[in-house]
Amino acid sequence: MLRSLISVVDTGSVTETARRLGRTQPAISLQLQRLEDLTGRVLFNYDGRRMALTADGDLILNYAKSIVRLHDELLSRLSSPDIEGHVILGTPDLYAAHMLPAILGVFRLAFPRIQVELRCALSTPLVDLVRRGEVNVALVTRMNDFTGGQVVRQEQLVWVSGDQSGAHRETPVPLALLPPGNIYRDHAIDCLEAAGRVWRIACVSESMGGLQAAIFAGMAVSVLGRSALVPRMRGLGPEDGFPPLPKVDLLLYKAPGTTSPAALALHDYLAHYLGLDQEAAASDRPATDAADRTGSNA
CA distance 39 to 197: 49
Distances 293 to 12, 44, 47, 48, 266 between C-alpha atoms, Å? 11, 11, 8, 7, 37
What is the average per-residue pLDDT within 11-31?
82
The CATH number assigned to the domain with range 85-153+250-279 reads 3.40.190.10
Does 293 score more than 70 pLDDT?
no
Residue 289 is predicted with a pLDDT of: 31
106, 115 contact by CB (below 8 A)? no
Q: How confident is the model at residue 14, as a pLDDT? A: 87
Asked whether the predicted pLDDT for residue 132 surpasses 50, the reply is yes
Q: Is the overall model pTM greater than 0.75, yes or no?
A: no
**What mean pLDDT do residues 182-202 have?**
96
Of residues 220 and 24, the one with the higher pLDDT is 220
Residue 215: per-residue pLDDT: 97
In this prediction, residue 105 has a pLDDT band, given cuts at 50, 70 and 90, of: confident
Asked whether the domain spanning 155-247 has the same topology as the one spanning 85-153+250-279, the reply is yes
155-247 folds as D-Maltodextrin-Binding Protein; domain 2 (3.40.190)
Residue boundaries of the structural domains of the chain: 2-79, 85-153+250-279, 155-247
Which of 133, 139, 89, 134 has its CA nearest to residue 111? 89
The mean pLDDT of the chain is 86
pLDDT confidence bin for 81, thresholds 50/70/90:
low
pLDDT surpasses 50 at 21? yes
Which pLDDT band, with edges at 50, 70 and 90, does 79 fall under?
Answer: low
Percent pLDDT > 90 in the chain is 57
Q: Which residue has the higher pLDDT, 6 or 175?
A: 175
pLDDT at res. 284? 38
> Which CATH number does 2-79 carry?
1.10.10.10
pLDDT band with cut points at 50, 70 and 90 for residue 287: very low
